Structure 1
């Protein structure tokens, strides 16, 4: 579904991504793990068209991303939940969700998806008319995921969904991610909490200073001593 082949990305002469290649197959949960500054967010931003890469290619369902205007990438069926959530704080919960469906015209389907999101995230329904900026961190993360789902994406790209959240909320968010995947949405997950990420993923890639240094079955990496000491704090 998604194929990255040898991309190189620079920021003001700094070589941020170095010949990155990875693949996400339909129906998988794939995670990118690594320390801060390893290039995880840059990889996701390149996928969404938010960062232009110098060489290599990224194809989503056979279409090269860099040949598609940024605002049309969503229309291909790819939704990105960015680091820091980036919800519209001055708009209500309902208005944020409606914006997630801005490309759609099927009113009945939009209503069904809205109901499904409120079923997944009951707290959002309770706060439907509340300004999004007044929500807790966990509720804002739920809203950011809900807004992305309103596009009915075939693939959901998540950047640090657990950042700044309490452990009980993190568990809830990760349960929802698994549920979304089981319902048919492919997931690419960037996550600082490597333990949680590897525990739900099918496959994983480890990034270090802009390079992929390890890849493999997520459960195998979870039990790998070198991974555990480097990324799981053990």
Structure 2
């Protein structure tokens, strides 16, 4: 479904991604793990069109999207749940969700998807008229996921969904990720909680200083002594 091939990405003179290649099969959960500053968020931003690679290519459903603008990439079926939630704080929960559907004009289907989000996240329904900036961190994460789902993505890019959340909420968020995937949405997950990410993923990549240094099935990487030592706490 998604093939990122030999991309080089720079921030000015800083070479952030170096010949990075990953593939994501339709219907799978693929996770990208690594330390802070390794290039995980840069990878997602490049796939979303927010950053432009200097070389290499990005193919989605056999279409080259390397130079496609971000809003058109969303229209093609790629949505991102950004690091830090990035909800619109001065807009209501409902308005945030409606923003997720801004490229759509199928009103009845939008209403059905909205009800679907409220079914999955009952707390959002209870707070639909509340300003998003007044929600708790966990509620904002649910809102960010709901907003991305309102675009009806084929693939969901998730950037650190467990960041800053209490352990019970982390478990809940990962159950939600598994449920979204089970209903047919492919997921590319960036996550510092490597244990949780590997426990739900089909395939995994380890990134260090902008380069993929390990790849394989999530189970194989979870059992790797190198991964255990560096990312799984021994």
The whole-number CA distance in structure 1 between the counterparts of 2:106 and 2:8 is: 39
Say whether 1:205 aligns with 2:189: no
- Post-superposition CA distance 1:110-157 (Å, at most 9, x none): 111111111111110110100000000000000000000001100000
> How many angstroms does 1:66 deviate by?
2.5
Whether the 8 Å CA contact 1:48–1:65 is kept in 2: the answer is no
Residue of structure 1 equivalent to 2:16 = 16
The whole-number CA distance in structure 1 between the counterparts of 2:84 and 2:199 is: 23
Runs (5+) with no aligned partner, structure 2:
none
SS in structure 2 opposite 1:51? coil
Whether the 8 Å CA contact 2:49–2:67 is kept in 1: the answer is no
> How many angstroms does 1:67 deviate by?
2.8
The whole-number CA distance in structure 1 between the counterparts of 2:76 and 2:178 is: 22
- Post-superposition CA distance 1:174-228 (Å, at most 9, x none): 0000000000000000000000000000000000111000000001111222211
The whole-number CA distance in structure 1 between the counterparts of 2:52 and 2:103 is: 24
Say whether 1:141 aligns with 2:141: yes
What's the TM-score once normalised by structure 2's chain length? 0.98
What's the TM-score once normalised by structure 1's chain length? 0.98
Residue of structure 2 equivalent to 1:221 = 221
Residue of structure 2 equivalent to 1:98 = 98
Whether the 8 Å CA contact 1:4–1:20 is kept in 2: the answer is yes
Whether the 8 Å CA contact 1:30–1:203 is kept in 2: the answer is yes
Say whether 1:4 aligns with 2:14: no
Whether the 8 Å CA contact 1:195–1:232 is kept in 2: the answer is yes
> How many angstroms does 1:69 deviate by?
1.7
Whether the 8 Å CA contact 1:33–1:192 is kept in 2: the answer is yes
Runs (5+) with no aligned partner, structure 1:
none
SS in structure 2 opposite 1:38? coil
Residue of structure 2 equivalent to 1:128 = 128
CA RMSD of aligned residues (A): 0.7
SS in structure 2 opposite 1:67? coil
Q: What is the aligned length?
A: 234
